[in-house]
């Protein structure tokens, strides 16, 4: 895979407009289950994927809150994504002018949304922004994305690779709360396996009802350990 170097000079807020909270009103609810539960789920539309995560030695990108991912499916469709997730005690802020420009980009897709992670006592809300483009190469828009979230990225070269074999399905259900059928995704890497069931929601007021509805669809206890799949793959602290 061809890689380019993204080196960012210091950007002042006056150069690109004001810093504003990322506009978030959509997201996904996510629950992790033991992998044997897969055989108990009614599913359809199987799709295989190969996912490669890139990381600096010492997890330098993860420490910045960055996730650098390449993905290709069995139909040879490719995409490349940079994702930013701030630390737990930080708000997700974006440069409003760049946000507006990337929102209208025809070179890729900008998303700012909430991940709502199941927990027995209190679900965890995590805000993220990402920019995904077709193909395998980083683009100038990825550089603009880093400026948007004000991350001073190191050179994206000499990276280690972590390969994940993924398979996805749609969960067969008549639950009317979901406009799109929930997704089932299983990741296999090293000697580990992760099974995650997720569903999209619109309107933050629908986040917890969607999580409850998703939980009620599967008659098996979730895994005792929940959290971010990518952090587990890269063996980093979940953000």
More confident residue, 10 or 237: 237
13-233 carries CATH number 1.10.150.120: no
| Residue extents of the structural domains in the chain | 13-233
Where is average pLDDT lowest: 77-86, 137-146, 229-238? 229-238
Where is average pLDDT lowest: 24-28, 85-89, 157-161? 85-89
The confidence band for 89, taking pLDDT boundaries of 50, 70 and 90, is low
Cα dist from 163 to 17, 30, 53, 63, 234, whole Å:
38, 22, 7, 20, 10
Farthest-apart Cα atoms in the chain, separation: 55
What would the mean pLDDT of 26-53 be, rounded to a whole number? 97
1 has a pLDDT exceeding 60: no
pLDDT for the residue numbered 179: 85
pLDDT for the residue numbered 15: 54
Rounded to whole angstroms, the Cα distance separating 70 from 73 reads 10
Rounded to whole angstroms, the Cα distance separating 53 from 11 reads 27
> What is the DSSP secondary structure assignment for residue 135, as one 8-state letter?
S
The confidence band for 148, taking pLDDT boundaries of 50, 70 and 90, is very high
Q: Which residues make beta-bridge pairs with 50?
A: 72, 165
Rounded to whole angstroms, the Cα distance separating 54 from 155 reads 12
pLDDT for the residue numbered 5: 47
**pTM (two decimals):** 0.89
């Amino acid at each position: 895979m061809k890689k380019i170097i993204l080196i960012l000079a210091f950007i002042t807020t006056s150069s690109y407009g004001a810093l504003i909270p990322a506009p978030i009103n959509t997201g996904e609810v996510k629950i992790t289950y033991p992998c044997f539960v897969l055989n108990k789920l009614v599913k359809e539309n199987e799709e295989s994927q190969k996912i490669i995560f890139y990381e600096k030695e010492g997890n330098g990108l993860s420490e910045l809150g960055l996730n650098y991912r390449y993905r290709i499916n069995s139909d040879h469709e490719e995409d490349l994504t940079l994702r930013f997730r701030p630390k737990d005690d930080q708000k997700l802020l974006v440069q409003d002018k760049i946000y507006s420009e990337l929102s209208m980009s025809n070179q890729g897709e900008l998303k700012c949304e909430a991940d709502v992670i199941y927990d027995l006592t209190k679900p965890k809300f995590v805000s993220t922004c990402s920019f995904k483009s077709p193909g395998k190469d980083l683009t100038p828009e990825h550089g603009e994305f880093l400026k948007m979230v004000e991350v001073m990225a190191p050179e994206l070269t000499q990276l280690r690779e972590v390969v994940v074999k993924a398979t996805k399905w749609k969960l067969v259900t008549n639950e009317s709360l979901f406009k799109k059928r929930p997704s089932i995704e299983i990741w296999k890497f090293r000697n580990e396996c992760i099974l995650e069931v997720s569903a999209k929601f619109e309107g933050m007021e629908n986040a917890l009802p969607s999580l409850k509805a998703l939980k009620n669809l599967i008659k098996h206890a979730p895994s005792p350990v929940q959290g971010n799949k990518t952090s587990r793959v890269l063996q980093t602290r979940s953000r």
